[in-house]
Structure 1
């Protein structure tokens, strides 16, 4: 299909997991794509997997100054953007007594503050019409232990989908959100905990999913394609939950 034919798209955190799979789906639908990441290895691997026509940019999602530079670089490359998928994020899970200010600030900076100021920086370069898709989480809805800061950061993004919808609709910009449940992505390998602990944690989460499995990145990417395309043109400030029933049963 060619649901995104000719559209110019930016995907943050597009070098692994959901972001990388979404980039592949966007390309298959005819879009021109730019992705961001930080790790030199995954940046290089993404360039190899996605092809030389894709713009791969090293950018820190939590650095406010970097957001303006990213917006300038993408605007130079594409002139205007039709689609933005704000996907970059980090998951830090601790009981409340284990949090310190530095860890708190890192979580909020990457998951909310950086994306907020990236949208601000991108505004002059967004086409009319344009679609912004925010990657939030079912943790914005459920009371998962040890996810207080992560859940708050994702709840902030979900709120942003609604408030910016009201604010930007006059510019032809639609803002919607996709909220995944547990998905098989590299995020679980970045928790800095022993492998056996991570495995036990994953098994415990899986038991809470009625479908008894983790989701696949492509199952989220397909939804993002829909929200990015004209097929969802009557959706504004909406949330698509894809969690195997975890938040509803």
Structure 2
């Protein structure tokens, strides 16, 4: 039996990067997984790659209607859920002087509002003893150039998690945060970094990390599995940095 046998998990941003790796691992450990992503084509491709244990729904987490659709899907297919991973996020790297209101809103709507209302909507469907995991970033604690708005939006969800860890204690629902450091995912392409420039950017990031390399999405997925499975049954309200030590520098 897998560590998540018979569990139902919902993962936003599950069509790529850390979310995809987490969905793949959770499914391998026996869970039925619902992934949510903004682009329907990408969601469908991810579902095909992940297999029969996974179903997908396309929608923008910044829109509360998306969360209502996810909840309706879970209720219809499974009745309840056991795990909710609020992983979807957005980032725009730019100096504060260049940030427009649209830039600001885009990050806070996806990262903070999307997380808050996702949890609010899904919490009634979570079984007692379930788990909520929020994906933050080491940028919330370590100052990185051009990350002010992104860092603020991630700091907000860390505050949500601390509050929810106590709000949900009577239901024994554990609430934790996973904070990745620089991780080898398709994020560079999404940020507009040209393919020929990506190796240089990755090498620069690796030099900042004490372990001398970027993290792997699969390593973040393993940490997520610990926090969402019975192995982490006595862990709540923590912020686990999986960053090769970069937050220490």
TM-score by length of 2: 0.95
Q: What's 2:148 paired with?
A: 148
Q: Secondary structure at the match of 1:133?
A: strand
Q: What's 2:6 paired with?
A: 6
Q: Secondary structure at the match of 1:247?
A: helix
How far off its partner does 1:207 sit?
A: 1.2
Q: Secondary structure at the match of 2:26?
A: helix
Q: What's 2:244 paired with?
A: 244
Q: Which runs of 4+ in 1 moved over 6 A?
A: none
2:98 matches 1:98: yes
How far off its partner does 1:114 sit?
A: 0.9
Taking the aligned partners of 1:101 and 1:192, their CA distance within structure 2 comes to 20
Per-residue CA shift, 1:148-185, capped at 9, x if unaligned? 01111111111221111011111221100111100011
Q: Aligned-residue CA RMSD in angstroms?
A: 1.4
TM-score by length of 1: 0.95
**Structure 1 gap ranges (5+):** none
Taking the aligned partners of 2:103 and 2:63, their CA distance within structure 1 comes to 15
Asked if structure 1 preserves the Cα contact closer than 8 Å seen for 2:39 and 2:59, the reply is: no
Q: What's 2:58 paired with?
A: 58
Q: What's 1:132 paired with?
A: 132
Asked if structure 1 preserves the Cα contact closer than 8 Å seen for 2:38 and 2:58, the reply is: yes
Q: What are the residue-to-residue correspondences of 1:1-249 with 2, within 5 Å?
A: 2-195=2-195, 198-249=198-249
Asked if structure 2 preserves the Cα contact closer than 8 Å seen for 1:91 and 1:187, the reply is: no
Range 210-219 or range 63-72, more displaced: 63-72
Q: Secondary structure at the match of 2:145?
A: coil
Asked if structure 2 preserves the Cα contact closer than 8 Å seen for 1:71 and 1:118, the reply is: no
